[in-house]
Chains A and B, each alone.
Chain A
Amino acid sequence: DSGVTQTPKHLITATGQRVTLRCSPRSGDLSVYWYQQSLDQGLQFLIQYYNGEERAKGNILERFSAQQFPDLHSELNLSSLELGDSALYFCASSVGETGNSPLHFGNGTRLTVT
């Protein structure tokens, strides 16, 4: 058990809809990272928050947004969903700010857009 909790485990929704994925980092970790894993692909970095502030941005679409709350949990909001957004979305946490400390991954949220 990595200590990182992601909810929900599975999500099925229709095109055009909006969903929110939630992540609780491991106790003591201040950084939260969001990754997207499409079928048979490696992870694509979306965004990182550190102690409530956006720290780094990757290939995140404008339809997607995220935030990290004072209790350090994070939410990833996906709107105007398209079929191609179907993927496994991972959250990872780490102690440090710069990505130099080990990442601890959650079990992911499987999003299916129909």
Chain B
Amino acid sequence: AQTVTQSQPEMSVQEAETVTLSCTYDTSESDYYLFWYKQPPSRQMILVIRQEAYKQQNATENRFSVNFQKAAKSFSLKISDSQLGDAAMYFCAYRFRMDSNYQLIWGAGTKLIIKP
């Protein structure tokens, strides 16, 4: 079964510091996508970053980067120079192809607290 595990229910970091959020997944597929979504208090789900499994290079979006370890089935998110606006729930998601459609499996989320 495809599963996504976020082992940190809550993380806190000092403003301007760096924080890493963990995500592991279980799959037998070789072709898939991984995502990090941010859900601020406004509740909207916002795509932060995505990674294609076939790409060895780690994805980067400004202050956000991932450490993708395919063999270990690990996909952590690093946020550099944390800002107050980064405070949110962060969800890791895994997308794979099943029959003629793609399915998204979500982790339970990590609440990120930014200390001023």
Contacts and interface: CB of A to CB of B under 8 A. Distances in A.
Interface of A: 2, 40-45, 48, 55-56, 58, 88, 90, 92, 98-100, 102-103, 105-108, 110
Interface stretch (B57-65, B70-78, B99-107): B99-107
Given A2-B44, A88-B43, A107-B44, A43 B91 contact: yes
A69 B106 CA distance: 28
Contact of B43 (A99, A100, A108): A108
In this complex, the interface size class of chain B, counting residues with CB under 8 Å from chain A, is 20 to 34
17 contacts: A2-B44, A40-B9, A40-B109, A42-B107, A42-B108, A43-B45, A44-B106, A45-B104, A88-B43, A98-B97, A98-B100, A99-B104, A103-B45, A103-B104, A107-B43, A108-B43, A110-B43
Contacts of B100: 98
B45 A90 contact: yes
Contacts of A100: 102
A98 B101 contact: yes
